[in-house]
């Protein structure tokens, strides 16, 4: 009986040792993969810096309020169209109070061609009202205060903080950044629309001082090279570092 017990316990110990050895190996493998991914991300960042030096938004603006309004207008609309609209719009509205007190029908007309103009006009006016009432007419400088404004989500807040104020609070993840990040394997999700997860993953990989640049550079890369329908892998400077380079995208 005793002998049997002892042999069972020995085999149990061996099994436990094997399991713990496997766990250690798997942890080591994960650490090595994470380090390799960080090194690849650093190389990608370096290439983007050379390819798109000083990359920034294509939305024309002179201050944080103009950038906030332009970014709100850019939802489901091209930056070119937004710039065409804001050239006149910014002559009529110079302060948050101007938008807050505007005649809604008039504002709607002025932004009509950007699409979803009724919702956009409502959101701009509501956000500007809050800016006037709670922030003395100045666009706030924190993620918390910005995302508390009606119609302002994290992406818009990141654009304003990073580009108008030079504050690296996060990484802009729009449709281009989402798509390119997934193709480059810089995120754990395959869903390019999961902006929250993609942003979290990218923030782990990219140094904070480069967050704003990285977002803009990825947008330019997505627009010019890694397009949705036909990524130009043959002429892509990131091809050697891209796990999707041989994939045929439809
Ligand atoms: S190699 Fe192709 S899929 Fe990868 S980033 Fe470049 S264009 Fe996009």
pLDDT at 247: 54
> How many angstroms separate the alpha carbon of residue 229 from the centre of ligand 1?
12
Catalytic residue among 98, 174, 194, 210: 174
> How many angstroms separate the alpha carbon of residue 210 from the centre of ligand 1?
21
pTM (two decimals): 0.86
pLDDT at 30: 81
Residues of the chain with pLDDT under 50: 1-5, 248-250
Q: CA-to-CA distance for 248 and 245, rounded, in angstroms?
A: 8
Give the contacts of 61 (CB within 8 A, at least 6 positions apart). 67, 70, 86, 90, 164
pLDDT at 250: 43
> How many angstroms separate the alpha carbon of residue 39 from the centre of ligand 1?
18
Told to judge if 50 belongs to the known catalytic residues of this protein, a careful annotator would answer no
94 is written with which tokens? 């110079």
CA nearest neighbour of 58 among 218, 226, 225, 216: 216
Helix or strand holding residue 122 (H, E)? helix 117-135
159 is written with which tokens? 């654009």
Told to judge if 155 belongs to the known catalytic residues of this protein, a careful annotator would answer yes
pLDDT at 90: 98
- The answer to whether 139 and 127 are in contact (CB under 8 A) is no
pLDDT at 20: 77
| Binding-site residues, ligand 1, Cβ < 6 A | 180, 183-184, 225-226, 231-233, 236, 238-239, 242, 244-245
- The answer to whether 227 and 183 are in contact (CB under 8 A) is no
């Amino acid at each position: 009986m005793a002998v049997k017990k002892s042999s069972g316990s020995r085999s149990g110990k061996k099994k436990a040792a094997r399991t713990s050895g496997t766990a250690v190996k798997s942890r080591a493998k994960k650490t090595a993969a994470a380090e390799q991914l960080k090194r690849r991300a650093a190389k990608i960042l370096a290439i983007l810096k050379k390819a798109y030096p000083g990359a920034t938004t294509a939305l024309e603006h002179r201050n944080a309020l103009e950038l906030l309004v332009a970014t709100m207008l850019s939802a489901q609309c091209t930056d070119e169209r937004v710039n065409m609209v804001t050239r006149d719009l910014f002559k009529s509205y110079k302060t948050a109070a101007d938008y807050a007190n505007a005649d809604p029908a008039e504002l709607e007309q002025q932004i009509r061609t950007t699409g979803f103009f009724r919702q956009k006009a409502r959101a701009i006016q509501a956000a500007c009202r809050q800016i006037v009432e709670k922030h003395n007419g100045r666009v706030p400088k924190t993620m918390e205060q910005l995302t508390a404004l009606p119609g302002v989500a994290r992406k818009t807040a990141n654009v304003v903080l990073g580009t108008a104020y030079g504050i690296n609070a996060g990484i802009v993840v729009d449709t281009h950044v989402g798509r390119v990040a997934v193709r480059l394997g810089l995120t754990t999700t395959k869903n390019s629309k999961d902006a929250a997860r993609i942003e979290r993953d990218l923030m782990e990989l990219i140094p904070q001082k480069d967050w704003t640049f990285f977002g803009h550079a990825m947008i330019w890369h997505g627009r010019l090279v890694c397009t949705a329908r036909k990524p130009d892998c043959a002429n892509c400077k990131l091809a050697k570092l891209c796990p999707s380079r041989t994939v045929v995208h439809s």
